[in-house]
């Protein structure tokens, strides 16, 4: 069980492409992660900081609209806010298309996969105003550049980011004894544990980790002060902080006056906790290798994580150098977005074609079918992200949507469909079995033949 | 009679019989076996942790008012009085006619054995496993019920929608389906799709089930259309996956009712949106409206004779903090409540031992103290409905559960 270029693209990348050669070694996979981000340059998505003014403008527009209720200006102001909302939704579909194009044309599939993995690990769904459309800009600025750094830095960047703050209600959590709560007794301000709980349970130690309800509460108290400013951007408000130090996992943090640094400090400690090391190691092995990975692989990743204090490049190297990562059988089922994007890669969908789609065409051709396969783009059902278990995706209803999409969407994405007899080899490589080759040749139409190849388990697994 | 969907579905089904009936583990003969029992069971999982104290409001408890200010309840805040002590959240007032007829009831201060960590995901897994502690990869309690009863086949029980219903997973055959999932293909496409999936059991089983469940419920009508029509394969155009129009919870309830009018005896699905950390007033109202619409759609879809023989249980992974938090919401808690509905339910009352809400009476001085086990309620209802021996519930369906004195939840 050793490296193979084909598996490098299938298991650790975005699938096989008819035009782009797969990586030739583990070293080249790792080097590509640190090389220039060509896909980001070729298929741009704005940074969160570039999108943020639109969140602020929209918020202020809605406020003006509410204040104008009942006046002559109300209709015009409501129209103004509505137009901003529509423009942001349309951009969201454009960014979906850009993301699919990155999967289609990258020669560093592992980069796109790691971005998807960490985006899911730190699931942050937009709930307020134009945060609802900020998923891609958030990933572009906060996750994408951080995947090759230290876990601690990504954890700090995500936890203190407005996107996570609004997703887990941190902006309304106030220290019960803080100045803000004392001055506004009638408003009954207080603590909200949501972010603190998920940081411990999902982002760091894992639910089996050695923390208690008291740790959740103390961490929630430590996190108070972290909130949104008037523009819904990042801010730290000492007046909202619970006074005094807090004890998390036996160590005391902070004190008076309240500052952001103790929050960074506790996150740094959590990032290198042994429970975090094994939690992250297990998640990576399950995501990339199989639902039930070899325990030796998890141990190997855990030790590398611990030895390096969570240096992610070293952990990826540990994953790719381990023989258990290269077994030839394909186990994991691609989640719906990966299925759709890797199909676009196999079809070599033209960038000009994708760019020509109107937002509602992107929705009808990819985003909505993906939701019916069980995965609503950037709308994970909870902070734990999408499930890894194959059985969650290959249900009768999920598979029905996959087969229907495979047989109907490709001719809309690529009007000059490839010759199916050629496509079967390009899409599946050495995994093209005799029955699949036969089916591709025996289908009644070219669209059906292409659909059958994409429906084959050898394409849907990785 | 000229509905092309029915005819196409029939063709797809014919092809399935023609080439793969023997290979499909889920295939059953066209004439379904008589259903193994008569009462219809519907289990609704309320994912996110429903706030029991806001749904069935203990306004007669002296400590209630002090705990809930932004979330103040009771008849003075528009809730419907139930029994002089509890009142029902206003968003459920469309269900009051059911309450008055004795077709709606609640069990208060119940929980699973899950304690302390208050994770949604582990909480739901334990709720659906029906065990004392979590084991990886185990089956679900509703599936273990089916395993105990002879004559159960794939269309006896339905898991509906796009959520993974772990309580129905396991060795007994169960249909998984969503109203928007219909898979209609030409016979040739069916044959070839089966061919490409034949060596992968997970894909092959899901495909066959999808084809089977895409059949019209009324096979005779489809056969008549088939007899009147001479082919016309041009009509077998597949369509892009798209959602059915209308609210999904209504579509799911309609689909469940349609199956339960026939041979199905169990249906299970989720209603989400209960994790009300923030702005609970607006958020719980939306979720309760979905729940209310679902129950009324089931009642209408089942029709009176079958509704009279239906028991619905709605349950959640945990309740929420007794005291509202600083953000107009509540955080993850422990003790919660179950909703029971249907003509077979002995409703019109709030069951359960009320623990009180004084600080000393709370679990961890924070959550409603659980005084009963949701599994006990489910066991008694299923025992009455199916006639299965009590010891099967205590040993197999909910291993380790000791069932309480008979509470008589069913008529």
Single out the residue in B226, B242, B258 at which a domain terminates: B242
Give A391 to chain B, closest Cα distance, Å: 8
Q: Would you state the structure tokens that stand for residue A70, as one six-digit string?
A: 């009942």
Determine the residue of chain B that is closest to A453 in CA distance: B196
Together in a domain, B127 and B233: no
Contact residues, B window 62-91, toward A, CB-based 8 Å cutoff? 69-70
Determine the residue of chain B that is closest to A436 in CA distance: B196
Together in a domain, B279 and B322: yes
Together in a domain, B154 and B289: yes
Q: Would you state the structure tokens that stand for residue A92, as one six-digit string?
A: 């969201």
Say whether residue B181 is in contact with chain A using an 8 A CB cutoff: yes
Q: Is B396 helix (H, G, I), strand (E, B) or coil?
A: helix
Give A28 to chain B, closest Cα distance, Å: 33
Alpha-carbon distances of B196 from A406, A427, B377, rounded to whole Å: 13, 14, 46
Judge: B119–A207 Cβ closer than 8 Å, yes or no.
yes
Residue B344: give its domain's CATH number. Answer: 3.40.720
Judge: A403–B118 Cβ closer than 8 Å, yes or no.
no
- φ, ψ for residue A217 (rounded to 5)? -65, -45
**B-interface mutation test, from A396, A411, A458, A460, most B Cβ less than 10 A away:** A396
Chain A residues lying within 8 Å of B189, measured CB to CB: 407, 443-444, 448, 452
Determine the residue of chain B that is closest to A198 in CA distance: B119
Say whether residue A381 is in contact with chain B using an 8 A CB cutoff: yes
Residue B7: inside a domain: no
**Which of B163, B188, B241 is opposite residue A401, by nearest beta carbon?**
B241
Together in a domain, B287 and B250: yes
Helices (H), B236-279: 248-261
Give A78 to chain B, closest Cα distance, Å: 22
Alpha-carbon distances of A346 from A281, A326, A340, A361, B309, rounded to whole Å: 30, 22, 10, 20, 53
Say whether residue B198 is in contact with chain A using an 8 A CB cutoff: yes
Whether B126 and B134 have beta carbons less than 8 Å apart is answered as: yes
Evaluate if pTM is beyond 0.90: no
Q: Is B97 helix (H, G, I), strand (E, B) or coil?
A: helix
Q: Please tell me the distance from the alpha carbon of residue A215 to that of residue A226, in angstroms, as a whole number.
A: 18
Q: Name residue, tokens 């092959």.
A: B204
Say whether residue B214 is in contact with chain A using an 8 A CB cutoff: yes
Q: Name residue, tokens 């230290």.
A: A150
Question: Strand locations in B48-170, DSSP E?
Answer: 56-57, 80-81, 87-88, 104-111, 157-160
Residue B97: inside a domain: yes
Together in a domain, B348 and B277: yes
Please name every residue paired with A253 in a beta bridge, in sequence order, or none if there are none: A246
Judge: A391–B164 Cβ closer than 8 Å, yes or no.
yes
Residue B32: inside a domain: yes
Please name every residue paired with B177 in a beta bridge, in sequence order, or none if there are none: B160
Helices (H), A188-294: 194-198, 213-223, 261-271, 274-288
**Which of B202, B210, B364 is opposite residue A390, by nearest beta carbon?**
B202
Whether A137 and A58 have beta carbons less than 8 Å apart is answered as: no
Which residue, B126, B362, B277, is CA-closest to A382? B277
Q: Please tell me the distance from the alpha carbon of residue A342 to that of residue B81, in angstroms, as a whole number.
A: 57
Q: Would you state the structure tokens that stand for residue A433, as one six-digit string?
A: 């079995």
Together in a domain, B264 and B378: yes
Per-residue pLDDT of chain A in tens (462 residues, 90 and over written 9) = 799 999 999 999 999 999 999 999 999 999 999 999 999 999 999 999 999 999 999 999 999 998 988 888 888 998 999 999 999 999 999 999 999 999 999 999 999 999 999 999 999 999 999 999 999 999 999 999 999 999 999 999 999 999 999 999 999 999 999 999 999 877 778 899 999 999 999 999 999 999 999 999 999 999 999 999 999 999 999 999 999 999 999 999 999 899 999 999 999 999 999 999 999 999 999 999 999 999 999 999 999 999 999 999 999 999 999 999 999 999 999 999 999 999 999 999 999 999 999 999 999 999 999 999 999 999 998 899 999 999 999 999 999 999 999 999 999 999 999 999 999 999 999 999 999 999 999 998 899 999 999 999 999 999
Alpha-carbon distances of A178 from A181, A241, A405, B128, B150, rounded to whole Å: 5, 5, 54, 41, 63
Together in a domain, B174 and B285: yes
Judge: A448–B207 Cβ closer than 8 Å, yes or no.
no
Alpha-carbon distances of B48 from A255, B45, B271, B318, rounded to whole Å: 34, 9, 9, 8
Q: How far is CA B29 from the centre of its chain?
A: 27
Together in a domain, B249 and B373: yes
| For chain B, counts of helices (H) and of strands (E) | 14, 12
Per-residue confidence (pLDDT) for residue A202, from 0 to 100? 97
Per-residue confidence (pLDDT) for residue B229, from 0 to 100? 42
Determine the residue of chain A that is closest to B207 in CA distance: A396
Residue B176: inside a domain: yes
Determine the residue of chain B that is closest to A401 in CA distance: B241
Whether B50 and B274 have beta carbons less than 8 Å apart is answered as: yes
pLDDT in tens, B304-341: 999 999 999 999 999 999 999 888 899 999 999 999 99
* CB within 8 Å of B349: residues ≥ 6 apart: B83, B105
Judge: A455–B197 Cβ closer than 8 Å, yes or no.
yes
Residues of chain B with confidence (pLDDT) below 50: 1-33, 218-236
Whether B165 and B159 have beta carbons less than 8 Å apart is answered as: yes
CA angle A137, A139, A142 (to 5 degrees): 100
Together in a domain, B130 and B56: yes
Whether A306 and A274 have beta carbons less than 8 Å apart is answered as: yes
Q: Please tell me the distance from the alpha carbon of residue A77 to that of residue A73, in angstroms, as a whole number.
A: 6
Together in a domain, B109 and B157: yes
Together in a domain, B111 and B140: yes
Residue B376: inside a domain: yes
Chain A residues lying within 8 Å of B176, measured CB to CB: 395-397
Judge: B196–A384 Cβ closer than 8 Å, yes or no.
no
Number of domains forming the structure of chain B = 2
Residue B95: inside a domain: yes
Q: Name residue, tokens 């005819």.
A: B7
Contact residues, B window 332-371, toward A, CB-based 8 Å cutoff? 332, 364
Together in a domain, B30 and B80: yes
Please name every residue paired with B105 in a beta bridge, in sequence order, or none if there are none: B340
Whether A291 and A390 have beta carbons less than 8 Å apart is answered as: yes
Whether A432 and B267 have beta carbons less than 8 Å apart is answered as: no
Q: Please tell me the distance from the alpha carbon of residue A102 to that of residue A392, in angstroms, as a whole number.
A: 26
Q: Which domain holds residue B268?
A: 26-181+244-397
Residue B236: inside a domain: yes
Which residue, A194, A41, A209, A222, is CA-closest to A125? A194
Q: What value does the mean pLDDT of chain B take?
A: 86
* CB within 8 Å of A262: residues ≥ 6 apart: A222, A253, A254, A255
**Residue-wise DSSP of A144-169:** GGGTTSBHHHHHHHHHTSHHHHHHTT
Determine the residue of chain A that is closest to B162 in CA distance: A374
Whether B368 and B53 have beta carbons less than 8 Å apart is answered as: yes
Judge: A395–B164 Cβ closer than 8 Å, yes or no.
yes
Residue B3: inside a domain: no
Single out the residue in B242, B277, B312 at which a domain terminates: B242
Which residue, B230, B266, B231, B284, is CA-closest to B140? B266
Helices (H), B214-308: 219-228, 248-261, 280-302, 304-307
């Amino acid at each position: 069980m050793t490296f193979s270029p084909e598996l490098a693209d299938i298991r650790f990348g975005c699938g096989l492409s008819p035009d782009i050669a797969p990586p030739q070694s583990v070293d080249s996979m790792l080097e590509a992660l640190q090389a220039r981000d060509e896909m980001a340059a070729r298929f741009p998505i704005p940074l969160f900081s570039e999108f943020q003014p639109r969140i602020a403008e929209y918020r202020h527009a809605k406020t003006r609209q509410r204040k104008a209720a009942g006046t002559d200006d109300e209709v015009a102001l409501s129209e103004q806010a509505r137009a901003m909302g529509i423009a942001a939704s349309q951009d969201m579909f454009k960014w979906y298309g850009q993301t699919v194009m990155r999967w289609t044309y990258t020669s560093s599939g592992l980069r796109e996969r790691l971005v998807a993995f960490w985006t899911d690990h730190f699931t942050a769904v937009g709930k307020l105003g134009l945060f609802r459309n900020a998923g891609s800009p958030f990933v572009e600025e906060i996750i994408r550049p951080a995947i090759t750094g230290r876990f601690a830095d990504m954890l700090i960047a995500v936890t203190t980011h407005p996107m996570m703050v609004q997703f887990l209600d941190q902006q309304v959590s106030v220290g019960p004894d803080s100045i803000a709560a004392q001055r506004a007794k009638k408003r009954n301000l207080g603590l909200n544990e949501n972010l603190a709980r998920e940081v411990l349970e999902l982002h760091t130690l894992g639910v089996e980790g050695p923390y208690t309800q008291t740790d959740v509460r103390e961490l929630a108290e430590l996190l108070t002060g972290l909130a949104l400013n008037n523009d819904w951007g990042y801010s730290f408000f000492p007046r909202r902080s619970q006074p005094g130090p807090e004890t998390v996992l036996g160590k005391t943090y902070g004190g008076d006056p309240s500052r952001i640094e103790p929050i960074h400090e506790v996150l740094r400690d959590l990032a290198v906790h042994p429970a975090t090391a094994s939690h992250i190691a297990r998640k990576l092995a399950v995501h990339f290798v199989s639902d039930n990975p070899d325990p030796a692989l998890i141990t190997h990743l855990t030790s590398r994580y611990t030895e390096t204090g969570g240096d992610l490049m070293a952990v990826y190297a540990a994953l790719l150098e381990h023989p258990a990562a290269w077994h030839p059988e394909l186990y994991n089922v691609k989640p719906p977005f990966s299925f759709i994007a890797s199909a676009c890669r196999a079809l070599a969908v033209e960038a000009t074609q994708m760019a020509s789609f109107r937002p509602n065409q992107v929705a009808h051709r990819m985003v909505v079918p993906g939701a019916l396969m069980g995965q609503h783009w950037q709308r994970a059902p909870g902070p734990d992200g999408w499930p890894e278990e194959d059985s969650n995706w290959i249900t009768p209803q999920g598979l029905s949507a996959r087969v229907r999409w495979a047989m109907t969407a490709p001719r809309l994405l690529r009007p000059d469909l490839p010759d199916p007899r050629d496509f079967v080899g390009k899409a599946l490589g050495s995994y093209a079995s005799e029955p699949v080759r036969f089916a591709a040749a025996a289908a009644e139409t070219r669209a059906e033949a292409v659909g059958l190849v994409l429906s084959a388990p050898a394409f849907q697994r990785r | 009679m000229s509905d092309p969907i029915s005819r196409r579905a029939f063709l797809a089904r014919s092809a399935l019989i023609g080439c793969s009936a023997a290979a499909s583990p889920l295939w059953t003969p066209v004439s379904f076996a008589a259903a193994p029992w008569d009462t219809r069971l519907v289990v609704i999982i309320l994912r996110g942790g429903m706030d029991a104290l806001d749904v069935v409001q203990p306004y007669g408890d002296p400590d209630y008012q002090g705990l809930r200010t932004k979330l103040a309840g009771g008849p003075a805040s528009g809730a419907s009085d139930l029994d002089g002590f509890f009142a029902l959240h206003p968003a459920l007032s469309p269900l009051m006619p059911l309450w008055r007829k004795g077709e709606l009831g609640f069990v208060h201060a119940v929980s699973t054995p899950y304690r302390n960590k208050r994770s949604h995901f582990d909480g739901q897994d334990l709720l659906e496993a029906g065990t004392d502690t979590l084991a990886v990869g185990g089956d679900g309690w509703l599936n273990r019920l089916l395993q105990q009863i002879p004559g159960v086949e794939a269309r006896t029980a339905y898991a509906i929608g796009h959520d993974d219903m772990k309580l129905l997973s396991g060795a007994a055959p169960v249909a998984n389906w969503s109203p928007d999932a219909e898979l209609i293909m030409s016979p040739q496409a069916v044959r070839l799709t089966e061919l490409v999936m034949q060596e992968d059991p997970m894909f092959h089983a899901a495909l066959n089930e999808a084809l089977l469940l895409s059949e019209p419920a009324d096979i005779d009508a489809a056969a008549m259309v088939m007899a009147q029509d001479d082919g016309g394969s041009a009509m077998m155009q597949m369509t892009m996956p798209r959602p059915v129009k209308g609210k999904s919870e209504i579509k799911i309830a309609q689909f469940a009712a349609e199956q339960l009018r026939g041979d199905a005896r169990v249906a299970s699905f989720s209603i989400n949106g209960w994790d009300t950390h923030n702005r609970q007033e607006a958020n719980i109202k939306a979720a309760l409206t979905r729940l209310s619409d679902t129950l009324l759609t089931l009642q209408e879809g089942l029709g009176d004779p079958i509704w009279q023989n239906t028991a619905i249980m709605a349950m959640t992974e945990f309740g929420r903090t007794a005291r509202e938090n600083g953000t107009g919401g509540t955080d993850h808690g422990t003790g919660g409540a179950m909703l029971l509905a249907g003509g077979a339910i002995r409703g019109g009352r709030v069951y359960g031992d009320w623990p009180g809400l004084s600080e000393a009476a709370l679990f961890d001085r924070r959550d409603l103290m659980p005084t009963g086990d949701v599994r006990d309620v489910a066991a008694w209802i299923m025992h009455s409905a199916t006639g299965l021996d009590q010891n099967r519930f205590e040993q197999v369906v909910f291993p380790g559960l000791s069932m309480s004195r008979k509470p008589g939840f069913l008529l």
